[in-house]
């Protein structure tokens, strides 16, 4: 009998698998590659919600865990994953500059928003009003993380690539059985695929489709993450990740002309050099209306757990949410009510 059967191997599944392995627990991961949100993620981490000038919930703690978690994975997998880059927010007016400096005076934001106006001129990025710099930002190469981590699990025979069949799960008091695997616990980290899970599909997972472009721009010499109505992330070799769109109606992983044109319109308003589109990708982020993750234990089955709803901030949230769920299961440490699925009215009744 193993300790944990984990369903899903995106950011949430990987974070929980790592937490379990670090605590000498035995695991098996089942994953079918159907969910694209971790692959298409911008991979950005940024402690400030720039639209509203508010701090990301629990940002300090999440950043501390993020540093340790991805550094550990880099060492384990022998790859570079975490790129710590300044994030520059382009200003379009003096009023925007003033709003930035007012926000940077707030006690909870002063650590994250530089009070220095960045006036550096980047080639082909007209910026007469300069930029504001977000500190403690960067991006994680989520594509490389998923690929290398899944390969790592495969080499250890801890990974099965197949569609999880919920009807074949047998739930007993002290364990669960799935096909030939008996486990003390099962953790579902299925992303938007949770809607097909009869144990949790009545939870309010909304799902927001996002589309991204990978472009090649030989003349765009950016060494920072640029943020305006979209983001531009330098990937090296003149490649940049550009996005992202937000579509609340379409729940497919199919790239659309509409999404591409929306990105191109904003991109051409931000940069003036030529570029070519290398790739166009799409996926549905597991978002929740109250903007908080869905974490916890099934109300009727003490050995069935959920780690989901990481939304657009999976890179920052995953290590902290995996830790909290693990501590809840193994140490009976109560989950924060902001993330616990118990907060959902009438759930499980």
- pTM for the whole structure: 0.94
CATH superfamily label, 84-137+207-285: D-Amino Acid Oxidase, subunit A, domain 2 (3.30.9.10)
Q: Which residue has the tokens 């489709």?
A: 209
Q: In the chain, list all ranges with CATH 3.30.9.10.
A: 84-137+207-285
Peptide bond into 244 cis (omega under 30): yes
pLDDT at 35 over 80: no
Q: In the chain, list all ranges with CATH 3.50.50.60.
A: 2-41+143-204+289-343
Q: Provide mean pLDDT across the span 68-92.
A: 96
Peptide bond into 59 cis (omega under 30): no
The DSSP code for 222 is: -
Q: Provide mean pLDDT across the span 300-326.
A: 95
DSSP H or E run through 187: strand 181-188
What topology is assigned to 2-41+143-204+289-343 in CATH? FAD/NAD(P)-binding domain (3.50.50)
Q: How far apart are CA 179 and CA 7, in angstroms?
A: 14
Cβ atoms within 10 Å, residue 162: 10
Half-sphere exposure of 257 (CA within 13 A, CB side): 0
Summarize pLDDT for 242-290 with one digit per residue, the tens.
998 999 999 898 999 999 999 999 999 999 999 999 999 999 999 998 8
């Amino acid at each position: 009998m193993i300790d944990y059967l984990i369903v899903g191997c995106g950011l949430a599944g990987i974070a929980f698998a790592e937490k379990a392995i670090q605590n000498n627990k035995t695991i098996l991961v089942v994953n079918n590659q159907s969910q694209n949100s971790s692959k298409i993620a911008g991979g950005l981490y940024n402690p400030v919600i720039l639209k509203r000038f508010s701090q990301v919930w629990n940002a300090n703690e999440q950043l501390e865990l993020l540093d340790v978690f991805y550094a550990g994975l880099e060492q384990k997998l022998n790859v570079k994953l975490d790129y710590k880059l300044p994030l520059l927010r382009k200003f379009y007016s003096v009023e925007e500059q003033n709003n930035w400096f007012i926000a940077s005076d707030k006690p909870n934001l002063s650590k994250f928003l530089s009070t220095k106006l960045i006036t550096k001129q980047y080639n082909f990025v007209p910026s007469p009003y300069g930029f504001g710099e977000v500190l403690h930002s960067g991006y994680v190469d989520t594509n490389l993380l998923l690929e290398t981590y899944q390969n790592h699990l495969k080499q250890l025979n801890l990974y099965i690539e197949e569609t999880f069949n919920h009807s074949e799960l047998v739930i007993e008091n002290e364990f669960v059985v799935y096909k030939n695997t008996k486990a003390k616990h099962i953790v579902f980290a299925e992303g938007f695929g949770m809607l097909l899970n009869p144990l949790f599909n009545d939870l309010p997972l909304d799902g927001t489709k996002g589309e991204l472009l990978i472009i090649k721009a030989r003349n765009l010499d950016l060494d920072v993450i640029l943020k305006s109505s979209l983001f531009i992330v330098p990937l090296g070799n003149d490649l940049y990740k550009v996005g992202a769109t937000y579509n609340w109606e379409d729940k497919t992983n199919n790239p659309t002309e509409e999404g591409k044109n929306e990105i191109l319109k904003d991109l051409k308003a931000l940069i003036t050099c030529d570029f070519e589109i290398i790739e166009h990708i799409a996926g549905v982020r597991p978002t929740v209306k109250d903007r908080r993750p869905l974490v916890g234990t099934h109300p009727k089955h003490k050995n069935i757990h959920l780690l989901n709803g990481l939304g657009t901030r999976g890179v920052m949230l995953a290590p902290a949410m995996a830790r909290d769920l693990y501590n809840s299961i193994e140490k009976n440490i109560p989950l924060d009510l902001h993330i616990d699925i118990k907060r959902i009215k009438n759930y499980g009744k």
